[in-house]
Structure 1
Amino acid sequence: MDYDDGEFVRVLDEDGHVVDEETMPDLSDETLVGMYRDMRLTRHFDQRAINIQRQGRIGTFASAAGQEGAQVGSTYALADDDWILYQYREHGAVVVRGLDAGYLEYWMGHESGNASLADKHIFPLNIAIADHLPHAVGMSWASKLKGDDRAAVVHFGDGATSEGDFHEAMNFAGVFDTPTIFFCNNNGWAISHPVENQTATDTIAVKADAYGMPGVRVDGMDPLACYAVTKEAVERARNPAEGETRPTLIEAVTYRFGAHTTADDPTVYRDDEEVEKWKARDPLSRFEAFLHRTDRLDDELDADIQAAVEDHVARIIDESSEFEADPESMFEDAYAELPPELRRQREGFLSMLERYGDEAFLRD
């Protein structure tokens, strides 16, 4: 993946300088600092989640470190009732909408954590690669048919572009002109598979041409650029000018600093030199430098933000640790009405619980 050619939309350079004042989004100082705070919260949550996973307190976790600029920047461009459909790594999108204990409960294995996202207009976390893309198109098509102006932004990785669901969703969105923003977080690796072996096209953004929609390539390590291109795409999705199409494909060129998940060892397939090269483009330090340079942030405010971030994450970890799951809940949600076989299994399970109590979980 070639980052150095600079053939993408960019607002900030790697040192946090504005490349061109005309590209600078019109955002208040409060909004800019809020964006920085949410990026810091995403990074700290990510670090703590990995730590408690190592302690056996949550299940396998996918790290977002390095991709906060794309996630937070793009979400700031949305209205509160626009729908977000994400893969499993875009914790920054959840942070912007409100990070609470419910989200952590999902990673502890409780489906109720997914349910808590609905009030935030976020679809449940998606593990199967790319199968949420047709759902995003269906949701946005429904918005168009109902005559409301909601858009749907769907996040996915570069690996998803090799799945049939990606192409089917893109084609449907193009044909039916749905208000869908396809946001590809191209972090260079689909687990251990490099993006160079993922596609024969020079970029992912160029794939938009085949489906009759605009495609744009953006610096995914630049939160302001990600905000700008998403804002433009959302406005076009709501009110396309004559001759314009509603859907857009955005390719955010970014990088994951850590492993694919906590079950992965990235040292097997990439070297430290590559990782350090990308860490020099860290979206968090780049944005921090910009805010300091423009007097929107000082050391005292920065320290206050960090303290608030640490308190926030510590609180939701404590709250989620007190959650007591109902074993019967494992039979919920898959069906509106349980089929006979699952009803039989549930009755047998509840009978065993009544007879043996907690010891039922310890029996062979």
Structure 2
Amino acid sequence: MDKLKIIRNTYLSYSVLIIILITFMVRASNNMMMTTISLFSKYDLHFGQLEVGLTESLMALATFITTGLINSRLDTVRRRYLFIGSNIGFTIVLAVMQFSNFITVWIFIAVAGLAFGAIMPNIITSAGMIGDKKVREKVLGIYTLALSVSLIAGPALESYILKFEPLRYIFLFFVPLGIVASVLSPFLRFPDSKSEIKKKKIRVFGEPGFRVAVYAILAYNIIFALLITFGGIYARSVLKLSLSDVSLLFTGFFIVSFSSRLFISWKAPENLWHYLGTAIIITLTGIIFLFFGVNDIIYIIAYLLLGIPHGVTYPLSIVSISRTFDMSYSNMANSYFFSIMMAIGIITPTAGGLIENAIGFRYMFLALFPVILFLLFASNSNMKKMKFKATEVA
């Protein structure tokens, strides 16, 4: 009995290690691309604000296509091949981005988005495959911590490199991370194909637990998408921070995110609303600081404040999903959730580019205040209806 327990724990540790390593390598590289592509488009390719927004939207659209239309419909075997191929494809994009011009950059961005859309949902599904609820949520917590560490490492490394190298060559330094992820990708644990056979249909969007996750992530990711796309440009053009300091600003943001995620990771709260509600309120506070961010001190405070909901919202959203759906439906639910996150990334940067041109960076955030307030009440309403099991319908 003890020997069986040792084998089981060893296999669990091995699975978690693979999840941590792949998550770190992929997310550090992808986050670097997300925070850099707008700066690269603006200051290297000399794109206008609308075109800058479109670059982020294209990456999100490509990711959405993979997560929502492809990954969610594939069986386990095909999804594994797609996952491995996507890691290799993303690594190739990192290697060739330095050769981008105003035409080829759109192709490279699209391929990167397609690849990323096949990688992250499968990592989430793998992290949520543990049968025991407490252990599963611990593993999901470890997974989100690995995400946070990678989000710190990416901008920190980029900030250091930009002191010596031009922006165009930054992608090349992340190729080794992509290579490691590609080598490890065949070892990621996938669900047994039999566990994904569905005898009944399920209304994913009809589940209050899923809607709580969606409303919470909407309340934060709309703001985050705008910060990623235009926040660095505002800091560089208006506040006159250097490109290295802009990357350092994102590093500080992700350090606060990591600290928040570390705080909730060791013991997932039974009452998710205490954390999610607080996170949305802090988001509203961050919006106010952004509006008054006419100097670098206030602007930095806004970024640090907004790092808190970034750390809290995503892990608690996937915990809400894991409590709502069993393993048979986890890939579908995770793919839909991730595709919704990408839909935010499709619409927000383009719309943000138009709005910013019309009313300016600071007023753009102020205009979102009532939207986030509505999502706060919508999240609370669905939390009251939430039951931690999937409702199946014939």
Instruction: Check whether TM > 0.5.
Output: no
TM-score, reference length from structure 2: 0.25
Higher helix share: 2
Higher strand share: 1
Select the structure with the greater relative contact order (CA < 8 A; seq sep ≥ 6): 2
